[in-house]
């Protein structure tokens, strides 16, 4: 009886250890939309996918992957643009950061141009949530005081301090209860801010990523290129690329997606083969949270990933 009890106890500990050290599952991607250029992605809460083709052209992706292009009028009038450098989306709107005219322009798929809001500083990243434009300024990031602002006014709610001069620029995502902040460096720093109590927690990255940042000779590097937060599924979705220094040529870099829980444990991965077809290796992502669908652009093509099983089984 004693031996049986010991064996049973060992089995319990072994099972628990396996669960604690389980490897991330591999998820397959499927080609959704072929194209020759895509600078960024944004998807509305209703599931309409938009892409940024160039500084004056936005496209909408149909259900079958076809792209419908919209050339914006060039100029300084409220409904015109000068140079688009970023795109974000909300419930049924898209927000374009017009760097040339120093403003945010809001559009609706149903009604077209809605309004513009001034942006006097250079914007590092922006999000559109509950019809409010949130953004971070490049200059404030360089001064180690990344303040998340709302367009048209300053808010003191989101202030994050980071004493790493090389931790630039900043990426972030926002949801009902959380703000996720990340620094695009080889030693990626992730923080999550709880909006109800104002506390900030550092999120450790998966052990594989931390160990893989540099090998013994300091030649290997992994860099964060984009991220998103799925609050309901309690997932962080991050895009990386890795390679060997000092070459870091596009054909030798390996872009991949990591799906993590809010504690930083890696649950799943999506790999993309490096190759000549890729215009760049910095993946850009957009998340359809209602359908648990992830859209990824490699700078040209757009891929679709169904992460529902990861969202519902972790």
Structural domain range at position 249: 26-312
Q: What 3-state class would DSSP assign to 298?
A: coil
Q: What is the mean pLDDT of residues 39-66?
A: 93
User: Percentage of the chain with pLDDT > 70?
Assistant: 71
Mean residue pLDDT across the chain: 79
Q: What is the mean pLDDT of residues 53-72?
A: 90
Domain-embedded: residue 120: yes
Domain-embedded: residue 251: yes
pLDDT at 158: 66
**Residue 217 reports pLDDT greater than 80:** no
Number of domains in the chain: 1
pLDDT bracket for residue 292 (50, 70, 90): very high
pLDDT at 156: 52
Question: Do the bridges between strand 25-26 and strand 266-271 make them parallel or antiparallel, or are there none, so unpaired?
Answer: parallel
Write out the two tokens for 123.
């914007």
pLDDT at 251: 53
Domain-embedded: residue 17: no
List, as own/partner pairs, every contact residues 101-106 make where C-beta atoms lie below 8 angstroms and the sequence separation is at least 24, other chains included.
101/76, 104/133, 104/135, 104/151, 105/78, 105/79, 105/81, 106/133
DSSP state of 160: -
pTM above 0.75, yes or no: yes
pLDDT at 6: 47
Q: Could you tell me the CATH number of the domain that includes residue 255? A: 2.120.10.30
**Residue 314 reports pLDDT greater than 80:** no
CA nearest to 139, candidates 130, 151, 129, 149: 149
**Residue 20 reports pLDDT greater than 60:** no
**Residue 248 reports pLDDT greater than 60:** no
Scanning the chain, the segments in alpha helix (DSSP H) are 2-20, 138-142, 207-212, 308-312
Q: Is the peptide bond before 246 cis (omega within 30 degrees of 0)?
A: yes
Helix (H) or strand (E) holding 303: strand 302-306
Full DSSP string of 215-267: -TTS-EEEEEEEEEEETTTTEEEEEEEEEETTT--GGG-EEEEEEEETT--EE
Domain-embedded: residue 156: yes
pLDDT bracket for residue 169 (50, 70, 90): low
Domain-embedded: residue 139: yes
Domain-embedded: residue 1: no
Cross-strand bridge partners of residue 71: 57
Domain-embedded: residue 7: no
**Residue 200 reports pLDDT greater than 80:** yes
Domain-embedded: residue 193: yes
């Amino acid at each position: 009886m004693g031996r049986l009890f010991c064996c049973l106890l060992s089995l319990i500990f072994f099972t628990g250890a396996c669960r604690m050290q389980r490897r991330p599952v591999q998820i397959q991607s499927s080609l959704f939309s072929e194209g020759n250029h895509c600078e960024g992605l944004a998807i509305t809460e209703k599931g309409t996918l938009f892409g940024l083709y160039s500084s004056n052209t936005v496209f909408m992706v149909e259900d079958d992957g076809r792209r419908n292009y919209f050339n914006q009028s060039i100029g300084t009038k409220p409904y015109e643009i000068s140079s688009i450098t970023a795109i974000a989306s909300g419930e049924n709107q898209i927000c374009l950061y017009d760097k040339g005219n120093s403003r945010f322009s809001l559009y609706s798929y149903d009604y077209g141009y809605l309004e513009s809001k001034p942006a006097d500083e250079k914007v590092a990243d922006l999000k559109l949530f509950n019809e409010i434009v949130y953004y971070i300024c490049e200059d404030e990031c360089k001064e180690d005081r990344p303040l998340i602002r709302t367009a048209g006014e300053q808010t003191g709610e989101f202030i994050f301090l980071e004493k790493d001069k090389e931790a630039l620029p900043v990426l972030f995502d926002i949801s009902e209860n959380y703000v996720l902040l990340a620094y695009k460096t080889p030693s990626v720093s992730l923080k999550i801010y709880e909006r109800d109590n104002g506390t900030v927690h550092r999120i450790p990255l998966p052990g594989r990523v931390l160990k893989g940042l540099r090998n013994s000779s300091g030649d290997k590097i992994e860099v964060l290129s984009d991220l998103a937060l799925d609050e309901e599924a309690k997932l962080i979705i991050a895009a990386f690329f890795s390679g060997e220094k000092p070459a870091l040529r596009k054909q030798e870099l390996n872009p991949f997606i990591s799906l993590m829980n809010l504690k930083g444990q890696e649950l799943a991965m999506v790999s993309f083969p490096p190759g000549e077809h890729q215009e760049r290796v910095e993946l850009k992502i957009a998340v359809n949270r209602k359908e648990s669908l992830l859209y990824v652009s490699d700078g040209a093509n757009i891929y679709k990933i169904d992460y529902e099983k990861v969202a519902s089984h972790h």
